[in-house]
Amino acid sequence: APWALMVLALLLRLYHLDAQSLWYDEGWSIELAHESPARVFFRLKDFADPHPPGYYLLLIFWGHLFGRSVWALRALSALLGALTVGAIYYAGKQLFDRATGLLAAVVLTLSSAHWVYSQEMRMYTLLTLCLALLLELFHRYGFRREGWSWRHWLALVGLEALAVYTHCFAVFARAAL
């Protein structure tokens, strides 16, 4: 069932992916997607962009693999949104039970707000995915403490770094966790 929800979420998010016109922030994302990774840091500083470079660097890599059309670049957010459905299911299942995880995944799959943000070329779905995964890892460490290895610590530190390099608000979520 969670895999079916993730597929449904991806299909819903890919539907009419390029129907909306671009807005200013997406135009900025496209411009940065055409830069070299090293140049992104200078562009962010020159234009006083308040967002960290993590999403933009991922978008550059994605653009090299799948192209830089509006549809191709927005597809990254659609995929991240669908993966978030799976992460929410897993977090809900681990924190509560399978039914709660499934309900949370259904709600997120059908959430119009999450659907809209999953069709924008911005960092919000990546941040949501990171925070859902961090919630489960913090719960695993704080309450279950079962079988923690260096891989778990590496995943935790990597997700924290990715979240902070994706959006500044991740610092507040990290503090809350």
Query: Which residues, given as ranges, of the chain have pLDDT below 50?
Result: none
Query: Could you give the angle at which helices 54-66 and 37-46 cross, rounded to 10 degrees?
Result: 140
What's the pLDDT score for residue 67? 96
What's the pLDDT score for residue 29? 94
What's the pLDDT score for residue 155? 87
| Nearest-angstrom CA–CA distance, 65 and 44 | 23
pTM equals 0.92
Closest CA to 162 of 136, 133, 119: 133
How many angstroms separate the Cα of 128 from the Cα of each of 39, 55, 61, 85? 26, 12, 20, 10
Torsions phi, psi for 167 (to 5 deg): -155, 140
Neighbours of 82 (CB within 10 A): 24
What's the pLDDT score for residue 45? 83
- 125 and 62 Cβ atoms separated by less than 8 Å: no
Q: How far is CA 153 from the centre of its chain?
A: 20
Neighbours of 2 (CB within 10 A): 19
| Nearest-angstrom CA–CA distance, 45 and 63 | 22
